[in-house]
Amino acid sequence: MANNNFFLGIDIGSTASKCVIVDGEGNVIAHEKKDSGAGTPAPRETVDAALASCNITEDDLSGICATGYGRNLVKATNEAARQVSELSCHARGAASLFTDVKTVIDIGGQDAKVLRIDDKGNLENFVMNDKCAAGTGRFLDVMAGVFGCKVSDLSKLDEQSTETTSISSTCTVFAESEVISKLSAGNPIPNIVAGIDESVVSRTAGLARRVGIVPKVAMVGGVALNDSLRRRLEKEIGYPIITSSFAQFNGAFGAALIARDKYAAGSRKVAEKSSVS
C-alpha cells in the first residue's frame, strides 16, 4: 500500500482519549493522549494534535476507526465499518505490538479483560470484569486520591513496601474506607499500596485463569504502566508478562490497523465519508 495513505485509530476511553495515526505500511507516525475521555473535548483535541503533528488534515485520511467506551462519538456513514469493539482492537494491536502473544491482559479505567488471541490477532476467547470498579484503573485512581498522589506514583510506593497490608473489601467504596482506616491505624502508605496492588492482581489473575493462560502473555491498557503491579501479577500467574511504553495506545493502534485492513479490503468509499465529531 502507498506510504501516503494514512489511517486514524481513536480509543475514546472512560478516563483517557488515545489516538494513533499509521501509514500505509502500518508504521506509527503520530500518537496523542489526553487524560479525559468520552463526553469531553479530549477525543477531538487528540485527533487535531495528531493530525497537526504529521502535517495532514482529516481529508488526507484513507480510513478512520473508533473504539472504546465513547466510540459512538465518531460519525460515520457506515457504523459497522467505523466502530469496532475494544476486544478486536486490543487483539489486533497486541498481535502487532508484540511477537507470539497468545494472552492479552488489558486493564483500563473502567474494566479489566483477558483475551486469548491467535497468531493473526483474531480473538479466540475472552473474559471481562465490567460490573464494578474493583480491579480496574478507577480503583487505583481512587486510592491514589486517598494518598494525595498521582496514580503514576503508586508503583514507586509499592517498591518501598516492607510487607503487605491486605485490603479485604472487594467494593471500591468500602475499600476506600478500609484504606483510610488502615492509614489512621498507622500502617505505612507503601504497605497499603502493596495491599491495593495485590487486590487488583488477585482479581486479574482470577480472570486470566478463567480464560486459560497461554504464554506469551502481554499486558496493555493504562494500568500496564504500573510496573510493580505487573511484577506482582507475573508472580501470581507464574508467567513473564511483556509490555510496552505504548501499552495504553494499544486499542487505538489496533483501531488504526483495522482501518488500514478495511481499506486494503476495499472499503475506501466508507472511509472517505467519515469524520470525527
Q: Does 13 bind ligand ADP (CB under 6 A)?
A: yes
CB of 110 to ligand ADP, least distance (A): 5
CB of 107 to ligand ADP, least distance (A): 7
Name the 3-class secondary structure at 234.
helix
CA–CA distances in Å: residue 192 to residues 55, 112, 136, 158, 185: 47, 22, 17, 8, 11
Question: Can you say how many angstroms the Cα of residue 32 is from the centroid of all Cα atoms in its chain?
Answer: 14
Q: Are 21 and 31 in contact (CB under 8 A)?
A: yes
CB of 236 to ligand ADP, least distance (A): 18
Site string for ligand ADP, 18-47 (x = CB under 6 A): -------------------x----------
Site string for ligand ADP, 55-74 (x = CB under 6 A): -------------x------
Distance CA 14, CA 173 (A): 18
CB of 226 to ligand ADP, least distance (A): 4
CB of 42 to ligand ADP, least distance (A): 10
Q: Are 13 and 69 in contact (CB under 8 A)?
A: yes
Q: Which stretch binds ligand ADP (CB under 6 A): 6-14, 19-27, 119-127, 160-168?
A: 6-14
Instruction: Output 13 or 121, the one with its CB closest to ligand ADP.
Output: 13
Q: Does 108 bind ligand ADP (CB under 6 A)?
A: yes
CB of 213 to ligand ADP, least distance (A): 21
Distance CA 94, CA 244 (A): 10
Residue with cell 496493555: 220
Give the CA count within 13 Å in the CB-facing half-sphere of 82.
Answer: 22
Instruction: Output 14 or 165, the one with its CB closest to ligand ADP.
Output: 14
What burial letters (b/e) apply to 161-172, b meaning 16+ CB within 10 Å?
Answer: beebbebeeeeb
DSSP per-residue codes, 153-198: GHHHHHHT-SS-------SHHHHHHHHHHHHHTT--HHHHHHHHHH
Site string for ligand ADP, 110-149 (x = CB under 6 A): x--------------------------xx-xx--------
Q: Are 67 and 83 in contact (CB under 8 A)?
A: yes
Instruction: Output 14 or 274, the one with its CB closest to ligand ADP.
Output: 14
Q: Which of 46, 129, 228, 248 binds ligand ADP (CB under 6 A)?
A: 248
CB of 194 to ligand ADP, least distance (A): 15
Secondary-structure breakdown of the chain: helix, strand, coil percentages, each rounded to the nearest 5: 45, 20, 35
Q: Are 137 and 221 in contact (CB under 8 A)?
A: yes
Site string for ligand ADP, 160-179 (x = CB under 6 A): --------------------
Which of the residues 214 through 243 are near ligand ADP (CB under 6 A)? 221-223, 225-226
Q: Which residues bind ligand ADP (CB under 6 A)?
A: 11, 13-16, 37, 68, 108-110, 137-138, 140-141, 151-152, 221-223, 225-226, 248
